[in-house]
Structure 1
Amino acid sequence: MPQRLRKFIGAVLMLILVVVWALGAMTIAQGRVTELHWALQTVCYVLLGTLWVIPAGALIWWMEQPDRRA
């Protein structure tokens, strides 16, 4: 697959990832997290705010792979 196509697909998937992650994080944060102690709330918010980097990093790694020459 050409790198240009991978970058296009990756950009679309990244947008979907960010939107779905944000909606999911808001759902979790408005659920039982608000009932936790403030220290546990902080941990939850930090994790929800940063864990999206792992799938995004894997997606970026895939997008940046060089083209295979036939």
Structure 2
Amino acid sequence: MGPRGRRLVASLGTVVFLIFYVWAVIAIGDHLPNSPWIDMAFFAVAGIAWGVPLFPLFKWAEGGKPKD
């Protein structure tokens, strides 16, 4: 698969993943105790953690480029 095809697959995969990730974060956030500090900590971590599972997908999508 060429670079354009890998990027297309990665883009679609990212959109699908983020739809389910946002749904899951909101569902979990509804079950937390009613405290602004807990909400702030949970959503801060959730707002950063979405990228971790996507790093391998991004690396794969750019796999055809030579290293500088």
Name the residue aligned to 1:64: 62
Deviations 1:32-62 (A, max 9, x none): x2x1543333211111111001122221111
The Cα of 1:11 is off from its aligned counterpart by 0.8
- Structural RMSD (CA): 1.7
Say which is worse superposed, 35-44 or 13-22, in terms of deviation: 35-44
Name the residue aligned to 2:19: 19
Name the residue aligned to 2:51: 53
Q: TM-score with structure 2 length normalisation?
A: 0.80
Count of equivalent residues: 65
Question: Percent of aligned positions with the same letter in both sequences?
Answer: 15
Which structure 1 residue ranges, 5 or more long, are not aligned? Answer: none
Name the residue aligned to 1:40: 38
| Equivalent-residue separation in structure 2 for 1:62 and 1:55 (angstroms) | 12
Runs of 4+ aligned structure 1 residues displaced above 3 Å come to: none
Q: TM-score with structure 1 length normalisation?
A: 0.78
Which structure 2 residue ranges, 5 or more long, are not aligned? Answer: none
| Equivalent-residue separation in structure 1 for 2:53 and 2:13 (angstroms) | 10
| Equivalent-residue separation in structure 2 for 1:21 and 1:4 (angstroms) | 25
